[in-house]
Amino acid sequence: MTTAFYTHSDCQRHEMGDWHPETPLRLQAIEDQLISSRIDQFIERRDAPLADVADIERVHTANAVALIRDHAEALAVSKEAHYPLDADTSINAHSWKAALRAAGAAVAATDAVIAGELENAFCSVRPPGHHATPTTPMGFCLFNNVAIAARHAIDIHGLERVAIVDFDVHHGNGTEEAFRHDPRVMMVSFFQHPFYPFSGTDSTEPHILNEPLPAYTAGDVVRRLVTEKWLPALHAHRPQMIFISAGFDAHREDDMGQMALVEADYAWITKQIMDVARQHAHGRIVSCLEGGYNLSALGRSVVAHLKVLADID
């Protein structure tokens, strides 16, 4: 079975200023590592299509969608480079199209995996998504790509149970908000705490499994948590498809957070998710890039993740 790699050059045209860590260079760093690791020959490259607004509006309000579209259109005719959405999130004239490609990759990958064309897929896209709530873009995120794909799988393909696994160093507050009242969507995550966005500790819903971790937590603790908490919950939920919010900013070399994972930890976590997916979901996984700001560590970690997804030794 095939692993696909969805991306699009439009995703590199969204930028938030030269100083900003969520930079187009992130996708280039992933491409460089794909080439130098020689795994590109084992994965099928696919162009990310533009998402339908209807797909995005299954998660986001029409106002949240119009906010991005209208300001990007206004920037295209004005002399301004950026429109600020919050202290660390802004858009440029290309952000609307980039955001449609990012969500479109997740939706197209979902369609192809459910159709049986692919076993799984990785979406090398930006802007990332897991902080974007149904109403509000925030934390470098415009539209919640993983949430849009999960909603698409349920509403359009009729899946009854899916899971979202989030291993970004930050809590996926937007994803939790989207599915807090929908037990068909299990969310399992860990994240550094206390840390941006300072959420994730107040949910009492059994289908939302958040594990706050202190700064400097390393892979041994994370692996134990995955084994003891995530896996029993996922097996009990029996997801028919698994989505991954694949942020790599919990890496030891990533200064955005203060956790201490390494590539081998990402490979191990990916293997555990694969085992659950193969047991309950015909192996179906769609993984979407979230954070990861040390360019070298990001590229190496994505390669480690992809090698497991594609069964490359």
Q: How far is the CB of 119 from Zn ion (least distance, A)?
A: 27
CA atoms within 13 Å, Cβ hemisphere of 17: 12
Catalytic residue among 8, 14, 60, 131: 131
Closer CB to Zn ion, 58 or 131, in the complex = 131
Backbone phi and psi for residue 206, each to the nearest 5 degrees, phi listed first: -65, -20
**207-228: buried (b, 16+ CB within 10 Å) or exposed (e) per residue?**
bbbbbbbeeebebebbbebbee
Least spacing, CB of residue 291 vs Zn ion, in Å: 3
Q: Which two tokens stand for residue 215?
A: 């700064």
**Are 297 and 248 within 8 A, CB to CB?**
yes
Q: By C-beta, is 3 or 217 nearer to Zn ion?
A: 217
Contacts of 222 (CB under 8 A, 6+ apart): 190, 213, 250, 259, 261, 265, 269
Q: How far is the CB of 298 from Zn ion (least distance, A)?
A: 11
Please, which residue, 111 or 249, has the CB nearer to Zn ion? 249
What is the C-alpha separation between 216 and 258, in angstroms, rounded? 5
Report the interface residues with Zn ion, using CB under 5 A: 168, 170, 247, 249, 291
Nearer to Zn ion, 93 or 256 (CB): 256
The residue of the chain with the least Cβ separation from Zn ion equals 291
- Residue number with CB closer to Zn ion (130 or 152): 130
- Taking CA 167 as the corner, what is the angle to CA 227 and CA 137, rounded to the nearest 5 degrees? 150
Q: Give the nearest distance from C-beta 250 to Zn ion in angstroms.
A: 8
Q: 181 catalytic, yes or no?
A: no
Spatial contact of 159 and 149, defined as CB atoms under 8 Å apart: no
Q: Could you give the residue numbers annotated as active site?
A: 131
